[in-house]
Amino acid sequence: MKANRCRNPIIVVDDLYVNFYTYAGVVKAIDGVSFCIERGETYCLVGETGCGKSVTSRALTRLILPPGKIERGRILYYPEPGKVVDIMKLSEEELRMIRGDEITYIFQDPGTALDPLYTIGYQISETMLVHGYINKIRKGVSRAIQLLKETLIPDPEQRIKSYPHELSGGMKQRAVIATSLANRPRLIIADEPTTALDATVQAQIMELLRNLKKKRGLTILLITHNMGLVAEMCDRVGVMYAGQLVEEAPTEELFRNPLHPYTRALLRAVPNPLRRIEKLESIPGTVPNLIYPPAGCRFHPRCAHVMDTCKRQKPELTRIGNKHYVSCWLYSRR
Ligand code: SF4
């Protein structure tokens, strides 16, 4: 298994391939991605829009809807050390019992994650009802209030009676977080949880997630394109490009010693207030069309170090240092 790089994993993704069958052609969205998440850590998937971060995170609970299809790969979930569940072999019913209970999602836009027709209290209680923790919606009221308190929503007794349109963006995201905590989550997948919020609310929401993780001993998979968030929140980082994992390292190591030309370019493109520059750096070229991805290394049309091999053969993820892996012919032992 390529992805077995964790001592005490909560999830292991091995050689995952996801395609989307569109009228224009087959989009090879995820191409052999392998990684694992240690129990209790915050693991970040980072990369440009369209690089496959969200598709990967949704695939963890087979939340890929047609025309998307998981072509192959293994996804192993370890609810406890030594106990393993093969996600790909579960029935839809079995999977539904894990999704929203042990593995929960916080999506980018809280406005669309919440149902406009029901109150916040109803929606939190419904999550408990679906998973059998209560047998009537009204029995979830006190727990819903307690969960809203945990997310520091002011006046939670009133807020459970509010409809989503009556809440600010930050409050809505806190309500979504409360829903994700309602049952017994072990792994929370936060997909760009602050992108739709303004800067001060972003900071509050990330602080809240950090505190909840500590208090409840959660594991978090954070999907983001914001390198500042990565530096602040994450223990380890996986860098994705065009549906492939191109580098993985502990956060400090990645910032100190980025190896893959794409990671280096990504970090150079982040503005640094301490450095005077004439103009912001950008990565030349554009993200490839994944219906016709470039052969070999998918980054090769944009890479300043491209060699002949890069155009023909896909580099494997190779261990370079302590927990530091990179997929690039510059570092492969050929
Ligand atoms: Fe650049 Fe080649 Fe490395 Fe790809 S494999 S990033 S093209 S040097």
State the distance from the centre of ligand 1 to the C-alpha of 120, rounded, in angstroms.
49
CA-nearest residue, atom 7 of ligand 1: 300
Is residue 196's pLDDT more than 90? no
CA of 309 to the centre of ligand 1 (A): 9
Confidence of residue 83 (pLDDT cuts 50, 70, 90): very high
Pairing label, strands 25-38, 9-22: antiparallel
Residues 313-333 have a mean pLDDT of: 92
Of 64-73, 187-196, 273-282, least confident by mean pLDDT is 273-282
Whether 88 and 80 have beta carbons less than 8 Å apart is answered as: no
Strand order in the sheet with 42-46: 103-106, 187-191, 219-224, 42-46, 236-241, 244-250, 324-326, 318-321
Q: Cβ(222)–Cβ(190) under 8 Å?
A: yes
The string of DSSP letters for 20-39 reads EEETTEEEEEEEEEEEEEET
Per residue in 223-233, pLDDT (tens digit) is 998 888 899 99
Q: Residue 80 is encoded by which pair of tokens?
A: 């406890």
214 CA from centroid of ligand 1 (Å): 38
Whether 3 has a pLDDT exceeding 60, the answer reads: no
Cβ contacts of 258 within 8 Å, gap of 6 or more: 247, 264, 266, 267
Which pair of tokens denotes residue 79? 């609810």
| pLDDT surpassing 90 at residue 326 | yes
Between CA 298 and CA 262 the distance in angstroms is 11
Q: Is the pLDDT of residue 1 over 60?
A: no
Q: Which atom of ligand 1 is nearest to the CA of 306?
A: 7
**Given CA atoms 287, 293, 298, 301 in this order, what sign does their dihedral have?**
negative
The pTM of this model reads: 0.94
pLDDT in tens, 101-141: 999 999 888 888 899 999 999 999 999 999 999 999 999 99
- Give the mutation target among 244, 259, 283, 297 for probing the ligand 1 site: most ligand atoms within 8 A of CB: 297
* Domains detected in the chain: 3-102+184-332 (3.40.50.300)
Q: What is the pLDDT of residue 94?
A: 95
pLDDT, average across residues 250-256: 96
How would residue 4 be classed by pLDDT, with cut points 50, 70 and 90? Answer: low
Residue 77's DSSP bridge partners are: 11, 85
Percent of the chain topping pLDDT 90 = 79
